[in-house]
Chains A and B, each alone.
Chain A
Amino acid sequence: MSPALARFARDRAALVAAFLLLGLALAAAAAPLLWPVDPDAVGGPPLLRPFLDPAHPLGTDRLGRDVLARLLHGARLSLTVAVAAAAASSVLGAAVGLAAGLVGGRIDDLLMRITDAFQTVPGFLLALAFVSVFGPDARSVVLAIAASAWTGPARLIRAEIVALRGRDFVLAAIVAGLPRRDVALRVLLPNALPPVVAYAAVSVASAVLIEAALSFLGLADPNRASWGAMIAEGRAVLVSEPWLSILPGLALLSTVLAVNLVGEGLNEALAPRRARP
């Protein structure tokens, strides 16, 4: 076992959260097998409360759609969008950060000003504008979140590169005559990466929340069940049928909690605090 993995395994909360998340991902992936009900089928009795009818264990919504099926399929959307968005923002951010840190000079300045500009605009506002303009399908939601979240990893990796540049082993590689590109990709990048990976885990959590908030504001892909949209639909009957909003909210809450715990565990494992005195 690598030391990082060992450190992670020692963090009990993170471990439990990791299993929970794994379970959720499996349930989402196997939704059609686990609970073979069409989440969009409008056949059932409308507004059935949970735990009353074994055919609809978690009840139905206004159009008679099965809430359990919608929750499971919502998990699919939520997780895929969040992971894709986190990956996209990490890759984009890493590319920008790497370029800025390596090239330096004017390019660095320009890239950092663009980063500043993006950080100055409220990220959620940017995502909202982007999705309203390009339509609420999963792809534009991923791009929107990535567009508003790439600045974190970019700054992080640039700072790492700048710090690493002066370190002995990097200087040694340069002195040894390693080509610039190899120094960048084989020496600097691998060493600058761990904090970005830990950061990516945290950004999955925020992506889950952004996707949900966008869906809640009506920017959900209408072809797929989504937790945020379920809460928004439930909101119309919040007073009489509160569980329609509460259930997807709980699903969101536990997912984000689990992702956060795993992210923290990863953070500790990959980028342990400075050597303790």
Chain B
Amino acid sequence: MESAGPSPALRLAWRRLAQAPFVLAIVVVGAFLLLEAAPGDAVDAYVASLGGDAGFVHDLRTRWGLDRSAPTRFLLYLAGLATGDFGWSVAFGRPVLDVILERLPVTLALAAAATALAFALGTGLGILAGARPGGPLDRLLSALALLLNAVPSFWLGLLLGLLFAVRLRWLPLAGIETIGVHYTGLARLLDTARHLVLPTLTLGLVYAALYLRLVRAGMVEAWRSDFVRAARAKGIARRRLVLRHVARNALLPVVTMLGLQSATLIGGSVVVESVFAVPGLGRLAAEAVTQRDLPLLLGIVIVAASLVLIVNLVVDLLYARLDPRVELGHRSP
């Protein structure tokens, strides 16, 4: 590639940004159709919890606008969306955006903590393993990674909870803060952090295993490259070689993977949030489906998809920054 003009990676990033609205539109239509196809509507979900007579059911349906046809409701929803109105959540009796914004920070904190843990642990141990491929440490770490990669996260969460919260009582089992005690400032932050340890471990360890394997594989490949061979022949110290050259190259795929895994991470948090009673977006989405709360589900899907798009954009830009020579999109020969 010539040095003139933006790098291919950067161009790719901009192209993705331009495509984002189309992608979002498809997502919104898909989510709407899915819930439209569901048996029973929000009123059925509501009266299932408390009963009521025929008039009651009819009134609710009129009140919630569910007597209108599906296309009408969808158009009304889109019209609202155009003015920034995400609609009204019938399940919570509040504006959708309020409900989502309440839960979003929790999921973001959990996802960020899990990613940080996975990245630090995964790359750190990956470098250790890849420093001497085939060595005893490599064998041990690789086996561990294989195992962690195969663990069902909800099961891991249950066992971690059983051990650290129920048996040892080192950590709280559920929720995100100690209820009834009103901490402020730093104390509150620490309290929340303590509550997030187990969910973060549960969510993060699986990805740590993934990154470990990725970094190790990259390093194994790097050791074979001509450049590193030449450097070794020149007698450059192994430790320096590992950190300066071999590991550095191996980190690039991890950055790509961070972007690719962002959607999976949100999906995984559904399970983890339910195991540890974390009031996040994932659990909210599951609730929206059970309550047939269409505007809420659409809102969540839009927010989640936007997040994923943003993360991918950031990753693209980061990639362009880290290695402008790499051409994305055509990695296979």
Query: Do any beta carbons of A and B sit within 8 angstroms of each other in the complex?
Result: yes
- Chain A CB within 8 A of B23 CB: yes
**Complex contact B154–A117 (CB within 8 A):** no
User: In angstroms, how far is the closest chain A Cβ from the Cβ of B301?
Assistant: 6
**Complex contact A121–B305 (CB within 8 A):** yes
| Per-position binary interface string of chain A over residues 221-263, scored 1 when its CB falls under 8 Å from any chain B CB and 0 otherwise | 0000000100100010011001001100100111011001100
- Chain A CB within 8 A of B158 CB: yes
Which residues on B sit within 8 Å (CB–CB) of A209?
152
| Cα-based distance from A212 to B157 in the complex (angstroms) | 14
**Complex contact A253–B150 (CB within 8 A):** yes
Which residues on B sit within 8 Å (CB–CB) of A274?
333
- Chain A CB within 8 A of B149 CB: yes
User: Can you name the residue of chain B whose Cβ is closest to the Cβ of A210?
Assistant: B267
The stretch of A4-12, A19-27, A35-43, A126-134 in contact with B is: A126-134
- Chain A CB within 8 A of B155 CB: yes
Which residues on A sit within 8 Å (CB–CB) of B159?
246, 249
| Cα-based distance from A226 to B41 in the complex (angstroms) | 29
Q: Known: A213-B271, A252-B155. Contact between A117 and B289, CB under 8 A? A: no
User: Can you name the residue of chain B whose Cβ is closest to the Cβ of A273?
Assistant: B221
**Complex contact B282–A125 (CB within 8 A):** yes
- Chain B CB within 8 A of A114 CB: yes
User: Can you name the residue of chain B whose Cβ is closest to the Cβ of A235?
Assistant: B158
**Complex contact B304–A121 (CB within 8 A):** yes
Q: Known: A119-B263, A239-B162, A252-B155. Contact between A113 and B34, CB under 8 A? A: no
Instruction: Find residues 175-216 in chain A having any chain B CB closer than 8 Å to their own CB.
Output: 205, 209, 212-213, 216
User: In angstroms, how far is the closest chain A Cβ from the Cβ of B151?
Assistant: 6
- Chain B CB within 8 A of A54 CB: no
User: In angstroms, how far is the closest chain B Cβ from the Cβ of A232?
Assistant: 9
Question: What is the total number of residues of chain A having a CB less than 8 Å from a CB of chain B?
Answer: 47
**Complex contact A261–B289 (CB within 8 A):** no
| Cα-based distance from A128 to B297 in the complex (angstroms) | 12
> Which of B37, B154, B301 is the one whose CB lies under 8 Å from A121?
B301
User: Can you name the residue of chain A whose Cβ is closest to the Cβ of B271?
Assistant: A213
User: In angstroms, how far is the closest chain A Cβ from the Cβ of B256?
Assistant: 13
Q: Known: A129-B289, A132-B290. Contact between A122 and B266, CB under 8 A? A: yes
Q: Known: A114-B26, A216-B154, A253-B152. Contact between A133 and B267, CB under 8 A? A: no
Q: Known: A120-B308, A120-B309, A121-B304. Contact between A133 and B38, CB under 8 A? A: yes
| Cα-based distance from A159 to B264 in the complex (angstroms) | 22
User: In angstroms, how far is the closest chain B Cβ from the Cβ of A180?
Assistant: 23
- Chain A CB within 8 A of B35 CB: yes
| Cα-based distance from A254 to B27 in the complex (angstroms) | 36
- Chain A CB within 8 A of B30 CB: yes
**Complex contact B271–A217 (CB within 8 A):** yes
Q: Known: A163-B330, A239-B162, A260-B146. Contact between A129 and B34, CB under 8 A? A: yes
Which residues on A sit within 8 Å (CB–CB) of B37?
133-134
Which residues on A sit within 8 Å (CB–CB) of B30?
117, 121
Which residues on B sit within 8 Å (CB–CB) of A228?
152, 154
Which residues on A sit within 8 Å (CB–CB) of B285?
125, 128-129
**Complex contact A245–B152 (CB within 8 A):** no
**Complex contact B330–A122 (CB within 8 A):** no
Instruction: Find residues 119-164 in chain A having any chain B CB closer than 8 Å to their own CB.
Output: 119-125, 128-130, 132-134, 159-160, 162-163
**Complex contact A123–B332 (CB within 8 A):** no
- Chain B CB within 8 A of A105 CB: no
Instruction: Find residues 206-261 in chain B having any chain A CB closer than 8 Å to their own CB.
Output: 221, 224-226
**Complex contact A117–B27 (CB within 8 A):** yes
**Complex contact B158–A238 (CB within 8 A):** yes
User: In angstroms, how far is the closest chain A Cβ from the Cβ of B232?
Assistant: 14
**Complex contact B23–A120 (CB within 8 A):** yes
- Chain B CB within 8 A of A106 CB: no
User: Can you name the residue of chain A whose Cβ is closest to the Cβ of B40?
Assistant: A133
Q: List 13 A-B contacts (CB under 8 A).
A: A120-B308, A120-B309, A124-B267, A124-B268, A125-B304, A134-B37, A162-B330, A228-B154, A238-B162, A239-B166, A242-B162, A245-B158, A274-B333
Residues of B within 8 A of A (CB): 19, 22-24, 26-27, 30-31, 34-35, 37-39, 146-147, 149-155, 158-159, 162, 166, 221, 224-226, 263-268, 270-271, 274, 282, 285-286, 289-290, 297, 301, 304-305, 308-309, 330-333
Add 17 more A-B contacts to A116-B19, A122-B304 (CB < 8 A).
Answer: A119-B308, A120-B263, A120-B308, A121-B263, A121-B304, A124-B264, A124-B271, A132-B289, A133-B38, A160-B332, A213-B153, A213-B271, A238-B158, A242-B162, A246-B159, A252-B155, A276-B224
State the 3 A-B residue pairs at the shortest beta-carbon distance, nearest first: A124-B267, A122-B267, A117-B26
